[in-house]
Amino acid sequence: MNKKYTRREFLFKNIAGSAAFITGGWLLTSFKVSQTHPQTTNQAKSKDSVQQTPKSISQNPCEDLSGIASGEIEKRKKFAYVTISPNPDSRCGNCKLFLPPAAGKPCGACLLFKGTVQESGYCTYWAPLE
């Protein structure tokens, strides 16, 4: 216990220890138990189920969510996406996360979730164009 550390050794050990602590925390948060255990067929079906929307309900192609995974539909709900913006100045058409429709397509897309997005829509993550 008589050994004294120099300032350089002290700083190096503290920085290395902090980096190891932060890296360990990052690794623990990125690890998912579901990645290590195989799922049974019932669990796999419920997790990867696809939302089916009948054609009679959704005549607008921008509102057709058939073929979209239920997780992506949950993202839409989480971001409170609506097809018509409550504020005309804050709509998908003037958001920097909006991807304009491709040639010949009536609907655009969003960087936040999969599926079609209306230009008149809105979500809580709206970001103005710069």
What range defines the domain where residue 121 resides?
A: 67-129
Specify the pTM: 0.51
113 is a domain residue: yes
Q: How far apart are CA 97 and CA 91, in angstroms?
A: 11
Beta strands (DSSP E) in 3-67 are 50-51
Exposure string over 83-92, b if 16+ CB within 10 A, otherwise e: eebeeeeebb
pLDDT one digit per residue (tens) for the chain, 130 residues: 577 879 999 999 999 999 998 998 888 877 665 555 555 555 444 444 555 445 444 577 788 888 888 888 898 889 888 988 898 888 998 999 999 988 888 889 998 888 888 889 999 888 888 7
94 is a domain residue: yes
Looking at the structure of the chain, the number of domains it has is 1
pLDDT at 56: 44
Beta strands at 50-51 and 68-69: parallel, antiparallel or unpaired: antiparallel
First to last CA, the chain: 60
Runs of H (alpha helix) within 31-108: 41-47, 70-78
14 is a domain residue: no
